[in-house]
Amino acid sequence: MSVAFPKLLIEPAYRKVAAAIGKRILSRSLREGERLPPETELARQLGVNRSTVREALRELESRGLLQRRPGSKLMSVSRPQHAAVAQGVSHALLLHDVTVQHLWEALNLLEPPLAQAAARARTAADLEALTSATRAFGEATTDTADTVHRTAEVFRCIARAAHNPVLGLAQEPLLQLLEPSLRIMIDKVPQARARIAVAQRRLLEALEARDEQAARDWMARHIRDFRKGYEIAGIDLALRLTGP
C-alpha cells in the first residue's frame, strides 16, 4: 500500500511577508511607535516585489499591528485597539449561537472577581474615573441607548481599576453583546434604572473602602439583578444574541 501525502499549503507571498514582519512585532523586536523602512527598502531586504510588501502591510494594518501616522508615508508599529479586538471576539461569539443565558453565566463568573480585584488594586485616579462614570449614569437622559452606554462605562471603569489587561479584554466582548438585551430590559422594567444606580453606588463605596468582599458581593448581586430584569421583561434566556 503506497503512502499518501497531504497537499502542501501554498501561501501567497504577501502572507509570508506579513508573517515575517508580524513575528518581529509580536516578539517585541519592533516596538510600538517604531517606523518600518520604506516599501522599496523592505522589498529589497525581503527579496520580493514592492506590490507584495504593500499588500502585506495592508494586512498587518487591518489587524491593528501597523498604522500610518498623519503626515508620514511610513508605517509605524501600533497596538491593536481594545474595542476593535473585542469586536472581533463578539462577532465570533454571535456566530457560535451564544444565548442570553450564556452571556449572563459568563458575566456572573467574570464580574464579581473583577470587582474584588479592583477593590484591591484601585488607585485614586481609578476612583475619580468611577465616580465620574456613576455620576454620569445618574444624569443620564431618558434615552435608553444613553443609559445602556453609561451602564457599560461603569463596568469598564471597574475593570480598568483591576489593572489586569487580560480581564479587561475578556470583559469587553461581553459588554458589547450585553447592550441589545439590556436596552430591552431597561425599557420594559421601570425600576431597572434605580436598581442599577444603587448597585453602582455600593460598588463605588466598596472600592473606596478597599473592601474586596463587599465589592465581590455587590457585583454578584448586580449581575443577578440583570437576570431578574430579563425575566420580568419576558426576555427568553434561550434567545440567541444579535449584534449591537
Closest CA to 86 of 195, 209, 178: 178
- Return the pLDDT at 243: 66
Distance CA 89, CA 152 (A): 17
Enter the C-alpha cell of residue 153.
Answer: 462605562
What CATH code would you report for 82-233? 1.20.120.530
Closest CA to 137 of 155, 119, 118: 155
> What class is the 13-77 domain?
mainly alpha
Q: Which amino acid is at 141?
A: T
- Return the pLDDT at 87: 84
Enter the C-alpha cell of residue 122.
Answer: 484601585
- Return the pLDDT at 72: 85
- pLDDT per 10-residue tile (average), the chain, 244 residues: 76 93 93 93 94 95 90 89 83 90 96 98 98 92 90 96 94 92 92 95 98 98 95 92 72
- Return the pLDDT at 1: 57
Distance CA 163, CA 110 (A): 15
CB 219 within 8 A of CB 112: yes
- Listed by start position, the domains of the chain span 13-77, 82-233
Strands 66-68 and 75-77: antiparallel
Q: What predicted TM-score, i.e. pTM, was given to this entire model?
A: 0.82
- Return the pLDDT at 104: 95
CB 130 within 8 A of CB 154: yes
Taking only the tens place, the pLDDT of each residue in 25-71 is 999 999 999 999 999 999 999 999 999 999 999 999 998 999 998 88
